[in-house]
Every structure is written in C-alpha cells, then in structure tokens.
C-alpha cells in the first residue's frame, strides 16, 4: 500500500482560488487509475480532470495513458488491458496540459492523497515536478457531512442516489465525486474552499468560520444549527447561543433549544453549518422572559 500522505499543517496560500467564494473558485476534480499501489514504481493508466467553476465545466481531460512499464497491472480492478493502453498517449505527452489545468485550481479528489501521490510522481518522471501541498478530500468531507457506514465512492453514490455507471474508471468516478461534492456543499454550506480545508475529522478542530459565526450569535436570538452527533445522521434545530468556551478542546458552544429551552453543550467541530433561523419570537435570552 502507498504510504499515507500527511496533511500539511500550514493552510493554503492566501488569495485565489482558496479565498474566493466556493462558486467563484476554480476546482479541479481529479481521478486516476493505476497499474498498482506503489506510485514510485506503478504508473497512471487513466486520468480524468474536470475544471469546474460555479458548477460549470470549464475544461476537461479524460484519457487512457500508456504506462509503458507494467501495462495491464491491476486490470482486475479497472479492466484496462495492455492492449487497450498500447495506442494511448504517454503521460509525458499530457504533462503540460495537466500542469496548466492544476496551476490555478483547488485539487479535489476522493481519498485525495492517493491521486496526489500519483500525479506528483508522474509529473516528476515527465520532467515537470510539482508539489500539490493542499487539496480537498471528498472522503473526509463526506465523513463529516453524512456519517454513512461506508464512505467509499460507490457506497456514497448508492446512499445518496447518484448514478455510478463506471466504477473504477476515471471519468465515472469524477462524475460521482462531483455529485457527492454538491451534496457536501448543501450540508456544510462553506463560504470558501479554505473553509472546507479546515474540515478535519478526528482532529478535534472546529472550522474557524463556524466558530466565529457561533461567537457572533451570542445574545442575538435563535439561529438554525446543522449538527451531526457522533455515529448519527445530521440534525437541525433552532438554538440560542449563550456562550462559546474556546479554552476547551474542542471548543464548546453553549446554549438552549427553542422552543423548550433544553440546555445543550455542543462540540464545535461537529457543527456543520449555522444560519439565521427566521424565528425571532423564540429568541429571548435567559432572564428576559
């Protein structure tokens, strides 16, 4: 198995595309198929990159790749034989286009460390070394947004009702990934790609924008919280925020449900989104009734 790629502790560089709105930013949805599990010795046999802005496809690369060495490897997974790949372009012939397409875009993939390692390895072999230090992983985002039993791309497609006609083929997987990403946006309501980069399942860290929104809501009446408890599906409820305890790990959001005034102490890292509730009638703070 390829070595797990550690996440960079430094955030993405300031400015576009990371600080543009999620609908303005250029996103590169990427999927690769390979001859095996070791990017140092195995090679890409298929690649699909779709450049997307605001849900619209701006440019697309979808091609088989002649790996030269180890052709036919992992055929049992993706179905691509040495004969099928023999007339395809080599990665070196695609490197300039790949480099241009990824240059100003946010790299998005499912289990993204895998795709990043293979793209970096092939670009280096083609004499176009590049480092993709920051990327979005739809597997991590799906774990936070949905809480499914399985977050494999096929399992997510089935659970979310997204057609997955060509599993383990690059174009089919990119199509499903884009569908899953759209559902993630609906759940997490991010303002920017950087906001999504801060989603860190298992690291007990809240998204800074969500934490700031909770602090701004103190004493402002009810808000609508989207919250996913551990091991359960997301839920929504009207909530009056009375305090945020940033000294705790992770920070806690304190308040009460409306109606009913049931006290809640919420983990901030499990808050998916916060928005106006549209019901000021329930927003009396304690002591104002």
Tell me the domains of the chain and their CATH numbers.
26-196 (3.30.420.10), 208-282 (2.30.30)
Cα dihedral 162, 163, 164, 166 in deg (nearest 10)? -150
* Chunked mean pLDDT (size 10), the chain, 289 residues: 56 96 98 92 96 97 91 65 89 98 98 97 96 97 92 94 84 96 97 96 90 96 94 92 95 94 93 82 35
Non-local CB neighbours of 46 within 8 Å, separated by 6+ positions? 32, 33, 63, 64, 65, 78, 80, 169, 170
The tokens 């490897």 sit on which residue?
73
pTM here is 0.90
pLDDT at 91: 97
């Amino acid at each position: 198995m390829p070595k797990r790629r550690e996440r960079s502790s430094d955030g993405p560089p300031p400015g576009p595309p990371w600080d543009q709105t999620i609908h303005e930013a250029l996103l590169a949805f990427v999927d690769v198929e390979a001859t095996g599990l070791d990017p140092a010795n195995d090679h890409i046999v298929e690649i699909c990159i779709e450049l997307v802005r605001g849900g619209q496809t701006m440019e697309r690369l979808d091609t088989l790749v002649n790996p030269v060495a180890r052709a036919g490897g992992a055929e049992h997974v993706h179905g691509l034989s040495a004969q099928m790949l023999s007339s395809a372009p080599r990665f070196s012939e695609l490197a300039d286009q790949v480099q241009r397409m990824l240059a100003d875009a946010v790299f998005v993939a499912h289990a993204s460390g895998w795709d990043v390692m293979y793209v970096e390895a092939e670009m280096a072999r083609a004499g176009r070394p590049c480092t993709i230090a920051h990327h979005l992983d739809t597997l991590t985002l799906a774990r936070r947004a949905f809480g499914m039993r399985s977050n494999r791309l096929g399992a997510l497609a089935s659970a979310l009702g997204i057609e997955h006609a060509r599993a383990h083929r690059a174009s089919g997987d990119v199509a499903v990934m884009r569908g899953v990403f759209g559902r993630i946006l609906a759940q997490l309501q991010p303002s920017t790609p950087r906001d999504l980069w801060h989603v860190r399942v298992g690291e007990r860290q809240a998204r800074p924008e969500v934490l700031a929104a909770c602090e701004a809501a103190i004493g402002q009446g009810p808000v609508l919280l989207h919250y996913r408890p551990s091991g359960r599906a997301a839920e929504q409820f009207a909530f009056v925020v009375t305090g945020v305890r940033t000294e705790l790990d992770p920070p806690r959001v304190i308040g009460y449900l409306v109606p009913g005034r049931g006290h809640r102490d919420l983990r901030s890292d499990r808050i998916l989104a916060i928005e106006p509730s549209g019901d000021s009638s329930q927003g009396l703070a304690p002591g104002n009734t």
